[in-house]
Amino acid sequence: MSSTLTVPQAQAALDAWTREMIAWHFSPATGCDYWLSWAKEAGWNPLKEINCFADLMRFDHFDDEVLRKEQPERFVPKAYANRPYNIFETGGTTGMPKQRVGWDDYKVDYEEFSDHYGPDFFPKGTNWLMVGPTGPRRLRLAIEHLANYRGGSCYFVDLDPRWVKRLIAMGEGAMARKYQEHVIDQAATIIRHRNIQCIFTTPRLLENLAERMSLVQAGIKAVFAGGTTMTPQYVRFVVEEVLEGKINFAPTYGNTLMGLAISRKLKPEDKYSLTYYAPQPRATLRIVHPDRPNELMPYGEYGRVELTTMTREFFVPRFLERDEAIRRPPCDEFPWDGVGDVRPFQSLTKTIIEGVY
């Protein structure tokens, strides 16, 4: 299912949503302690000064360190005060992880994702296998909800990325490989002994799994993958060889703060270059100049990814992600900007442990 809006209509909807969310988060009856306290000391009033999405530039870039330092309770909107919440984590290889609270956002995001792909892409009523980071992550509940929403159940094989990263940082490459094999052993066993047709996993684990078996022969019909950089060559390799050109492939870009951005359908002229579209208006991605993040990059150029998340559950303005991407124009499926060929920020100049799981 694609958006039915035109580009101007989508922009108008985003502006209207921005006003609604600012009213929600900065009204004492509905907002959370963290933002209400912030507003008292900000020296300006978002309720008066934010009238459209562009006005959000009034906010500084969100510092995600507060998600480590502050107690999660401070982010609970008054409107949700009586509902127990989920705590979702990100980071945490060393020290305190970043945490966010949540209730239904992940369900909304993944139902929208599901509806986008229709009934046949991930065959309805079939079972799923998730191979990847579960634990305190939003993704674990989200994938199970997705499977359930499509009428199936979900099996899980966990991989602890914090431990993998730590092993690599310690120079224990051999142990990291053994751990990865252990994860793949478990996944292969489930696929062989249970009726699985859909998989969620990371690209690297998908590769490893397909080195053990033909996923086509194993009866897999669709794969949903995300989590690390996928260059055009990598996507081509996955489509042509790992999935043997016969399994549906849904690459996504997402994280705990944003939710998930869906990739537009690949066309021959894309040459396997992926473009992701944020779940607007709940989350918006902009590609900004790395040194002057108030400026948008021109279309077709790399810049840093800036995320704004605005749901009733959570408000994150202008967070600079640790990723960079190419700014891409709206397309048939999504009437807003997309982000292409995402990779770690300044990955051409830094050594980054990525793609290890």
Report in angstroms how near the CB of residue 236 gets to another protein at its nearest.
6
Q: What is the three-state SS of 77-133?
A: CHHHCCCCCEEEEECCCCCCCEEEEECCHHHHHHHHHHHHHHHHHCCCCCEEEEEEC
What tokens does 222 get?
């669709």
Residue 125 as a binder of another protein (CB under 8 A): the answer is no
According to DSSP, residue 349 is labeled: T
CA dihedral 322→327→332→335, nearest 10 degrees, is: 80
* Nearer to another protein among residue 68 and residue 236 (C-beta): 236
Q: Report the alpha-carbon angle 160-162-164, nearest 5.
A: 75
* Three-state DSSP state, 309: strand
Residue 234 as a binder of another protein (CB under 8 A): the answer is yes
Strand partners, 306: 286, 320
Residue 68 as a binder of another protein (CB under 8 A): the answer is no
Distance (Å, whole) CA 343 – CA 81: 38
Residue 301 as a binder of another protein (CB under 8 A): the answer is no
Q: Report the alpha-carbon angle 38-41-46, nearest 5.
A: 65
* Nearer to another protein among residue 344 and residue 355 (C-beta): 355
Residue 106 as a binder of another protein (CB under 8 A): the answer is no
Residue 19 as a binder of another protein (CB under 8 A): the answer is no
Q: What part of residues 156-195 is at the interface with another protein (CB under 8 A)? A: 171, 173-174, 177
Report in angstroms how near the CB of residue 305 gets to another protein at its nearest.
21
Report in angstroms how near the CB of residue 249 gets to another protein at its nearest.
14
- Per-residue mark of binding to another protein, 244-283 (x: CB under 8 A): ---------------------------xx-----------
What does the binding site for another protein look like in residue numbers (CB under 8 A)? 171, 173-174, 177, 204, 207, 210-211, 231-234, 236-237, 241-242, 271-272, 355
